[in-house]
C-alpha cells in the first residue's frame, strides 16, 4: 500500500448478521472511504485471492481450519491485507493474525475498531534516534521487516530528534538510551513535554530492570533490549495501535484531523503544566542547542 492511498477495501468474514450491520455502518462513517463486503467461511479465501483486500476482520467463531485458510490467502495475496480477529475482550491472542479487535456491541464501538484498522494499515511515520549510524541502519532494517508499513526517518542525537519532531508528523520514536549530549531519558522527557501524543520506544544494549521501570514511568510505550527482532516490533506496534485489547495511543486525534482535511502536526499540541526537572541541565542543553 502506498502513501497515496485514498480508500481501503475491508472484508468482514463469518460474522453474524447483526454484527455485519454494525461493521457496515461503522465503515460508512470512517475517516477514509472504505469499500465494504462480507463473506462466509467458504467464500472468503477465494475472494481475497481473486479481488484482494486491505483489511480482513475474521469473527472469533470461525473454526481454526477456516481461519487458517483465510490467513494463508491473505499472506499470498498481492494486496497483503492485514488480518484481525474480532473477539470478546477477554479472548486470548490468536496466533498467525495481525492483531485482536474487541468485538463491538454498538456502532460507536465498531467505529473505534474500524479506525484502529485504518491506523494500522496506513504507514506510520517513525523516527529512529541513535548516535551510531550502524545501529540506525540495523534498526531501520528490522523495522522494514515488520508486517506494518512504516515511513522511517533518522536522527543522530536528541536535539536533532526534537527538531525533526517539531517539523514533522511522527507517530513513534525508537530512542537509544545511551547517547552523548542530551541522553535518552532527557530526550524522552522533552519529547513527552513537547509531543505528548507521540509514542516512544526506548532501546538499550544491556538488560537493566531499573532502567526499564524508569522508562515506563517516564512515559515510554515500551522498552526493547538490543538485539531485537521484527516480531518484537510487531508486538510493540500492536500495543501502540490498540490491537491487543489496549487503547490506541494516538489514532483518534489523527482520525478527527483527517475528517477535517487539515495538516495537523502532533507536536503542536503542548501540555500546559510546567516541566518537572531535577535540575537545569536538560533545559540548558535544549536552550543552548536551539539558540542561534
**Cell numbers 482520525: residue:** 255
Same CATH fold, 124-285 and 8-121? yes
Name the region of 182 (left: φ>0; alpha: ψ -120 to 50; beta: rest).
Answer: beta
Top CATH class of 8-121 equals: alpha beta
pLDDT on residue 271: 27
Return the C-alpha cell found at 116. Answer: 484502529
How many distinct helices (H) and strands (E) make up the chain? 11, 10
* pLDDT for the residue numbered 251: 41
The Cα 62–Cα 41 span in angstroms is 7
Per-residue confidence (pLDDT) for residue 244, from 0 to 100:
62
Torsion over CA: 217, 222, 228, 232 (sign): positive
SS3 of 152, please? strand
CATH of domain 124-285: 3.40.50.2300
* Segment-wise mean pLDDT, segments of 10 residues, the chain, 292 residues: 68 96 97 95 92 96 95 94 94 92 96 93 94 96 93 96 92 94 93 94 88 89 91 90 56 42 34 30 46 48
Q: Which contiguous run of DSSP H or E holds residue 150?
A: strand 150-155
11: left (phi over 0), alpha (psi -120 to 50) or beta: beta
Instruction: Give dist(CA 284, CA 292) in Å, integer.
Output: 14
Going from N- to C-terminal start, the domains of the chain cover 8-121, 124-285
Which residues partner with 9 through β-bridges?
Answer: 35
Amino acid at each position: 500500500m502506498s502513501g497515496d492511498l485514498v480508500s481501503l477495501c475491508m472484508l468482514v468474514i463469518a460474522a453474524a448478521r447483526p454484527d455485519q450491520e454494525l461493521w457496515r455502518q461503522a465503515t460508512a462513517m470512517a475517516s477514509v472511504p472504505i469499500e465494504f463486503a462480507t463473506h462466509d467461511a467458504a467464500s472468503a479465501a477465494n475472494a481475497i485471492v481473486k479481488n484482494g483486500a486491505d483489511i480482513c476482520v475474521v469473527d472469533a467463531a470461525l473454526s481454526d481450519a477456516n481461519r487458517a485458510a483465510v490467513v494463508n490467502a491473505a499472506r499470498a495475496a498481492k494486496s497483503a491485507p492485514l488480518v484481525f480477529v474480532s473477539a470478546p475482550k477477554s479472548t486470548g491472542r490468536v496466533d498467525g493474525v495481525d492483531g485482536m479487535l474487541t468485538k463491538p456491541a454498538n456502532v460507536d464501538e465498531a467505529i473505534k475498531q474500524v479506525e484502529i484498522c485504518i491506523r494500522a494499515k496506513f504507514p506510520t511515520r517513525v523516527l529512529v534516534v541513535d548516535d551510531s549510524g550502524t545501529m540506525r541502519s540495523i534498526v531501520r532494517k528490522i523495522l522494514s521487516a515488520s508486517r506494518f508499513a512504516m515511513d522511517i526517518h533518522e536522527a543522530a542525537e536528541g536535539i536533532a530528534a526534537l527538531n525533526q519532531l517539531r517539523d514533522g508528523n511522527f507517530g513513534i520514536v525508537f530512542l537509544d538510551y545511551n547517547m552523548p549530549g542530551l541522553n535518552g531519558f532527557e530526550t524522552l522527557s522533552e519529547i513527552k513535554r513537547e509531543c505528548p501524543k507521540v509514542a516512544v520506544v526506548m532501546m538499550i544494549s544491556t538488560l537493566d530492570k531499573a532502567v526499564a521501570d524508569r522508562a515506563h514511568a517516564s512515559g515510554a510505550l515500551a522498552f526493547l533490549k538490543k538485539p531485537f527482532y521484527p516480531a518484537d516490533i510487531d508486538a510493540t506496534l500492536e500495543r501502540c495501535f490498540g490491537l491487543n485489547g489496549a487503547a490506541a495511543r494516538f489514532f483518534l486525534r489523527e482520525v478527527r484531523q483527517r475528517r477535517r482535511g487539515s495538516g495537523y502536526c502532533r507536536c503542536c499540541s503542548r501540555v500546559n503544566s510546567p516541566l518537572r526537572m531535577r535540575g537545569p541541565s536538560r533545559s540548558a542543553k535544549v536552550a543552548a542547542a536551539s539558540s542561534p
